[in-house]
Every structure is written in structure tokens, then in C-alpha cells.
Amino acid sequence: MATKQPINDPMIDPRTGEYAVIAPGHNFKSVTQKIAGLVLTGNTPLAWFGGLVFAGGIASLVVVALTWLVLKGVGIWGVTMPGAWGFAIINFVWWIGIGHAGTLISAILLLFKQTWRNSINRFAEAMTIFAVVCAGMFPLIHVGRPWLGYWLFPYPNTMNVWPQWRSPLAWDVFAVSTYATISIVFWYIGMIPDFGTLRDRATLPLARYFYGMLSLGWRGSTRHWIRYETASLLLAGLSTPLVLSVHTVISFDFAVAALAGWHTTIFPPYFVAGAVYSGFAMVLTLAIPIRKWYHMEDLVTERHLDNMAKVMLATGSIVAYGYGMEVFMSWYSASHWEFFMMWNRMFGPLGWGYWMLILTNIAIPLTTLWSRKLRVNVTWLFILSIIVNIGMWFERFVIVVTSLYRDYLPSSWGTYRATKWDYMLFIGTWGLFTCLFLLFVRFLPIIPMSEIRMMLPQTKITRGGPTAETVSEEMS
């Protein structure tokens, strides 16, 4: 494959024929200056303010929708019998699924020593946290009285009421709250050395104070680094089963219910694969504009995009297998109800949602992702990532709505129609997510500087004592 590329392309490693992870010519100082410069710059691009105002405008829809929700109750949404779960649960599962790629990149790829992840893990983790913020809101407001949300947790109270531990909804509280906490801790600990760098490079006293506090006085001591590396590895090792368990538990919310279309054992692996699929799509949606606007093409290279596209191809294929297996089992189970559910899902009144899902999640991505040319075509990848995000939203829509609205008794059949408040809240969370992300790219280091330094050729230890002069010549 590599032979088709021009041989003198500087981005291609001549030994492996692969795209280089970092463009050649960088050294410790240049990567530090480049990444720290984004945060410590005195002139913020005007487009950033424009983007923040625009995204903030969209995010204000959340405020409006939530205010009205608190005043009137969940009756303003389209949820009713039999479709008791609607947009809130769809959006919850969709957002939290998006978050999963961040943990996958930061944890699983760290354990597998996939160093290419170093360039993208910070903003993938940030994406996780902001996605969990958006996701966590939905179950909280779906309980109807969000100000009593703390009732979900076990605590001694005068009502003498405790959670019911056989319910997946109680498991969900534990899974999602643990996920949010560990993600934030992992993200913050990852940033401590970079805060030290920002503290030392900042010229404004306020910035020096702010990053100095956040850095906790980090000074790069070797003993600190060793403990730090141990803690990072342990957190990665813990996040890996955590991320797999979170979407598994979310799939139990469905799979434990005795409802045709939900009651299947394939849900846990298929939910996790779908989560990673949509998450990588979202990382691409975010990474492609950022690397362009901030001129990060030498740190987030075609190699990263290509690798992420390959992960999408793999997880997308698992998702496709899941869809196929659902159809197969509805026939093989010989259950009248299962069979009807699948027929209704495909050809019922909301059947267009199913075909939309097949088109956007399977037909378009899984045909084009095989081509290396298209995998490194930035424009196409960006479009594709949005298509997959739409597709994964439809997957949740199809699972939640088409299983519910026509259940066992035809006399209780109904339909589901989202109201304008549902749409406002959903669209508002895009604005909230974008706002948080814009604040992140402005004030926090978007690429982990210490980890990028580790990938540079200058880190090679040469024994036998080179003199300082020869080394500095090599470096320059």
C-alpha cells in the first residue's frame, strides 16, 4: 500500500511505510511551545469568541427547556404509555456512549502501549467528561423531581427507604457516578505535569497563579514521575473494566426487562461496541476541525485519523453483527412476539428509523472505511463521523421506541412523538457540549505535552557518555 505513496513524503516512515505519529523535526522545546502557546497566547482568535457565543446561544435552550420542565413536569415531553421512555433515555445512552471512546483511548490503548494515542487522549478524555455531563443530566431530570435526585443513593434517611439492589436502575446510578468520578480524576491527574509546564511558561501573574495552584507544585521529580506513571497505569487498568461495565449496565436497563426487542443477551457486547463506534466518530468530529484550526497536523497526523477509522471499522462490524443477530434471533427464537417486534421495527409506522439506522451506521461507513484512500481523506472522514453519530442516535431511538410502542397487547398500542421541549433539550445539549469543549481548548492543554515528549527521538538514552557538544549539535 505504501508504495503507491510518493517516496519522499516526509510524513511516511521509510522503514514501516506507515504514516509517522509525529512529524519529523520536533524537539522538546518546540512541542512544548506549540501546545502551551495555544493556552498562553495573548490573542484569542475571534472565531473562538464567535463559536462560544453561538454555542452558548444553543446551550441556553437547555436552560429554557429545563426551566419549563421544572415548572410543569415531564408531561411536557412526548413520553406516555406505552412509550414511557423517550428522548431522555435515548439521549442519555447516546451521550454516554460517545464518552466511551475517550476512556478507551486513554485507558485501553495505554495498556496496549499504542503510543499514537498520546496526541489525542487529552481531548478524547475531555470529550468523555463533557459527554457524561450531558448524559448524566437526562436520567436526573427523567425522575421527574430532579431536586430529589439524591434519593437514588443509599443514605440513612427519616423515610427509612433504601435502594432496591436487584434493579438495573440502581446499578446504573453506581456505574455512571463511578464512571464520571474516575474519568475526572484520570483526566486531572493526566494534566498535573502539563499544569506545571504552563505555570513555568506563563507570563501573566494571574495565569501563573491559576496554573500553579492546579499543578499542586509539580516539579518533575523522578520519584514523583515513577509514582505518577504507576498511578496512571493503575487508573488505566481500572478504567478498562469500568468502561466495559458502564455500557453493559446500561444495556441491562433494557435487557433485564421482559420486553420483546429488549430481552436479549447480545445487548451488553453490542452496546459496548456501539458506544466505542459512536465515540470514535465523535473524536474525529472534534479532532478534524481542531487540528486544522490550531495547525496541529504535525501532532495529530493522518496516522491518527487512519487508526481511528480502523477502530470504527472494527467496532462498526461488531455492531453490524449485533443487528444481524437480532434479526436472526427474532426468527430462530420461534417467538411470535419477537418476530412481530422485528417486523414492526422494519416495516411498521416507524420503520423509516430502522432503515435510516442501517444506512447511516452500516451501509455508508462499512463500505467506505475499507479504503485507505478514504480513511485518510479528512473531508470524507469528517462527513462520515457525523453520519455515524446520527446513525448511533437512531440506533438508540429504534431500540427504545420501536420496542415499546407496540407491545404484547394490541389494545395498548400507541405511538411516540417527541415534543418541541424534547428537541430543545436535545439540541441544547449539543450547545452545552460545544461550549464546554471550547472553554477546554482555550484554557487547558489539549495535547499532553509530557507524553508527546516521550515519543520524540531525543528521548533515546545513549550509553558510554556522549559529550554535551555532540548531542546539542544533533538536536539542532
Partner 1 sequence: MPRKEGIYGLIAEFNTPSELVQATEEARTAGYRRMEAYTPYPVEEVAEALHFHKNRVPLLCLLGGLMGLTTAYLMETWIAVYAYPLNIAGRPLFSWPAFIIPAYEWTILFAGLSAGFGMIALNGLPQLYHPLFNAPNFRNGATTDKFFLCLESTDPKFSLTETRAFLERFHAVSVVEVDY
Residues numbered 381-420 forming contacts with partner 1, rule: CB under 8 A = none
Under rule CB under 8 A, how many of the chain's residues touch partner 1? 74
Binding region for partner 1 (CB under 8 A) out of 4-12, 163-171, 327-335, 368-376 = 163-171
Give long-range contacts, CB 8 A cutoff, 24+ apart: 286-291.
Answer: 286/123, 286/127, 286/437, 287/120, 287/123, 288/378, 288/381, 288/382, 288/385, 289/382, 290/123, 290/441, 290/446
Residues 32-71 that bind partner 1 (CB under 8 A): 32
How many other C-beta atoms can be found within 10 angstroms of the C-beta atom of residue 251? 25
Does residue 466 bind partner 1 (CB under 8 A)?
yes
Residues 243-262 that bind partner 1 (CB under 8 A): 245, 249, 252
Answer for the pair 255, 265: CB distance below 8 angstroms, yes or no: yes
Closest distance of CB 451 from partner 1, Å = 7
How many other C-beta atoms can be found within 10 angstroms of the C-beta atom of residue 220? 12
Does residue 373 bind partner 1 (CB under 8 A)?
no
Binding region for partner 1 (CB under 8 A) out of 273-281, 406-414, 438-446, 468-476 = 468-476
Does residue 17 bind partner 1 (CB under 8 A)?
no
Does residue 453 bind partner 1 (CB under 8 A)?
yes
Look at phi and psi of residue 171 and say left if phi exceeds 0, alpha if psi is from -120 to 50, else beta.
Answer: alpha
Single out the residue of 91, 53, 71, 130 nearest to residue 425, CA to CA.
91
The three cell numbers of residue 164 are: 432496591
Does residue 181 bind partner 1 (CB under 8 A)?
yes
Binding region for partner 1 (CB under 8 A) out of 81-89, 131-139, 196-204, 363-371 = 196-204
Does residue 467 bind partner 1 (CB under 8 A)?
yes
Options 66, 74, 170, 427; binder of partner 1; rule CB under 8 A: 170
141: Cα within 13 Å, side-chain hemisphere = 32
Closest distance of CB 333 from partner 1, Å = 23
Residues 6+ apart with CB under 8 A from 213: none
Answer for the pair 147, 473: CB distance below 8 angstroms, yes or no: no
- Phi then psi for residue 12, to 5 deg, are -105, 130
Closest distance of CB 31 from partner 1, Å = 9
Options 154, 289, 349, 457; binder of partner 1; rule CB under 8 A: 154
Residues 6+ apart with CB under 8 A from 385: 281, 282, 284, 285, 288
What 3-state class would DSSP assign to 248? helix
Does residue 200 bind partner 1 (CB under 8 A)?
yes
Options 112, 225, 328, 347; binder of partner 1; rule CB under 8 A: 225
Residue closer to partner 1 (CB basis): 90 or 235: 235
Does residue 265 bind partner 1 (CB under 8 A)?
no
What 3-state class would DSSP assign to 18? coil
Binding region for partner 1 (CB under 8 A) out of 55-63, 169-177, 284-292, 392-400 = 169-177
Residue closer to partner 1 (CB basis): 153 or 343: 153
Closest distance of CB 101 from partner 1, Å = 19
Options 163, 376, 419, 439; binder of partner 1; rule CB under 8 A: 163
The secondary structure of residue 263, as a DSSP letter, is: -
Single out the residue of 462, 441, 475, 460 nearest to residue 30, CA to CA.
475
Closest distance of CB 30 from partner 1, Å = 9
Does residue 357 bind partner 1 (CB under 8 A)?
no
Does residue 113 bind partner 1 (CB under 8 A)?
no
The three cell numbers of residue 359 are: 444506512
Binding region for partner 1 (CB under 8 A) out of 120-128, 133-141, 388-396, 450-458 = 450-458
C-alpha to C-alpha distance for 58 and 438, rounded to whole angstroms: 14
Residues 6+ apart with CB under 8 A from 273: 315, 318, 319, 322
Closest distance of CB 470 from partner 1, Å = 10
Residues 275-314 that bind partner 1 (CB under 8 A): none
- Phi then psi for residue 384, to 5 deg, are -60, -40
Options 185, 204, 289, 420; binder of partner 1; rule CB under 8 A: 185
Residue closer to partner 1 (CB basis): 7 or 161: 161
Residue closer to partner 1 (CB basis): 256 or 363: 256
